[in-house]
Amino acid sequence: MKIIKVLLAGVSLAFLASTSQAATSGKTLATVDPEADRLALQSHFQRRFPQVALSDYVNGIYALDAPSREQWQDIEDFPPYEFDIEEGEILFNKTFANGKSYADCFTNGGIGVRQNFPRWDDSQGKIVTLELAINQCREANGEKALGWKKGKIAQISAYMAYTSRDNVFDLKIPNNGAKAAYLDGKQTFYTRRGQLNMSCANCHVAGAYIKIRADLPGPALGHVTHFPVFRSKWGNLGTLQRRYGGCQKNVRGVPQKTQGDKLRNLEFFQTYMSNGLVANGPGARK
Amino acid sequence: MKKTISLVAALMMVSGGVAAHPFNDAFNEQRAMYGKGHSFTWNGQTYLTDHPEEVAAAAEANATNATALLAAAKDQYAQVLAVDFGWTLTKGLLKSAGKALEAGKFQDSMNLSAQAQYHSRMGLVQYEQSQAEWIMAVPQ
Amino acid sequence: MAKGILRAKAKAKGGNTVVKIMAKHAMETGNRKDKSGEKIPAKYIQTLSVVHKGKMVMESNMGSATSKNPYMAFTFVGGAKGDELQMTWTENTGSTATETAKIK
């Protein structure tokens, strides 16, 4: 009896090893090809929705669904994030106690730079999101860091996004460090998690524009260009990292750390997928 | 009883990756059709459609066993959190198991600990399987 | 000139004017509590009225049930490009102000 048990375990392990060799292309640092990934994602959506222009994907589900597009356009007449942009501008221009300001931390004084984030920072050896850059600027100038998910950081981010509208995303992957971060984000995006065992891709690639309860998930292409977002459900403005936490909780998984390595890499991957599309934040969504 | 438990545990732990594990399939099918505590044969051996956690929770309902099960469940939860694959409902189950233990409701506590441990074990299986499987969802 | 709390867009089309107004206002009901447990005092718009060429074209009674940053849209017969609208709001605290907007 004991021999049979051990054999069974051994056989299944060997079987496991051989089948996992089958799909390795694109999952290792040596084989991953970000440009090929990006183009593959674009053609996936173009095949499903031949009538939709690539540039329209920055509007998310409203690029695919006419009835909700109509409602959204009405809302955009008087966007709910308008006051946040005004507040954000005031906060952005306010000098720190030491006399410096955000303009000193960013190229072009922080105006029209949204499309450069997230970026690989070699000296730090990690991906830097816009909100991380904002807080690093604060701390470098003796100010306390802001909360990551909503409130002031979202308003500053909204103002910076607003000044960058229509600028094209063109994120770079300059070296293996950046590539590894990209790959890590790619893996997170396609990995099933939580008690409901779902991945981002389940809802936003295969499941885009397919009803999940009463909602239609938006497509992964152009997913992140409009952040920060005024979400009707929140009744206020929130960052992309805030939404990540909510989504992970939706599949009954304990969310990964806000602005931690995993979620910053995920944001990098998602934004790279939107290269070629324009920044159009802040946005309004259901 | 003990031999059955160890084989079930061993085979469940090994399940990971692309190949559908034959024992798991048989187990899940039998459990879906006949529920818990049902006896079935597979490859000449007899098994029960009970998860290892349920078998453990069937032990005598006393303070010692309940405390041990809660500790094991908490330990497994810490393990799954360490790899970022925790489930959101587990924390609440552990809390309820602790409260039941304090109130002297040992069987309730053991059942809740069993459920919590199952969550965490499944989360770890999920983590292991995802390493090999995630790439399959990427559009080519 | 200090910006008021009303943002208005008014457009004349085919003999009618469509007006959209958003008010920047917390609309505190007086029932919410702050971090120390103290009730945040009630502060909300009670009325908002819009006048065109001496004639009232819209009057609304808001009150504590209306939520933050109230938005309203309405159409009135008449109005032409360049005309001015007077929008007057009153608050439960007694504050009041009149702001203007031009029809485009």
- Partner residue facing A12 (CB), from B19, B81, B132: B19
Q: Which residues contact C100 (CB under 8 A, 6 or more apart)?
A: C84, C85, C86, C87
Distance from C-alpha of C59 to C-alpha of A274, rounded to nearest angstrom: 47
Beta strand spans in A108-223 (E): 119-121, 126-128
Task: Please indicate whether residue A247 is annotated as part of the active site.
Answer: yes
Which superfamily is assigned to C6-102 in CATH?
Immunoglobulins (2.60.40.10)
Amino acid in position B74: K
* Shortest CA gap C7–chain A (Å): 9
Complex confidence, ipTM: 0.83
Where is C16: in which H helix or E strand?
strand C16-23
pLDDT at A24: 57
The two three-digit tokens of residue A115, written as one number:
């499309």
CA distance A55 to chain C (A): 28
Answer whether A73 touches B (CB < 8 Å).
no
Tokens of A53: 């222009």
At C3 the pLDDT is 75
Q: Which helix (H) or strand (E) holds C91?
A: strand C84-91
Per-residue pLDDT of chain C (104 residues; tens, 9 = 90+): 457 899 999 999 999 999 999 999 999 999 999 999 999 999 999 999 999 999 999 999 999 999 899 999 999 999 999 999 999 999 999 999 999 999 99
Find chain A residues with C-beta within 8 A of B126's C-beta.
192-193, 197
Domains and CATH numbers, chain A: 34-78+172-285 (1.10.760.10), 82-162 (1.10.760.10)
Asked if B18's CB is within 8 angstroms of A195's CB, the reply is no
Interchain pair A253, B86: CB under 8 A: yes
- What φ, ψ does residue B48 adopt, rounded to 5°? -115, 145
Taking the model in full, what pTM does it have?
Answer: 0.86
Q: What residues does each domain of chain C span?
A: 6-102
pLDDT tens digits, A113-127: 999 999 999 999 999
Q: Per the CB < 8 Å rule, is B135 touching A27?
A: yes
Neighbours of chain B (3+ CB pairs under 8 A): A
Q: How many residues does chain B have?
A: 140
- The 10s digit of each residue's pLDDT in A31-68 is 999 999 999 999 999 999 999 999 999 999 999 999 99
Question: C74 CB near a chain A CB, below 8 Å?
Answer: no
Q: Pick the catalytic residue: A137, A200, A203, A247?
A: A247
Sheet with C84-91, edge to edge strand ranges: C55-61, C45-52, C84-91, C96-102
Where exactly are the structural domains of chain B? 2-50, 54-137
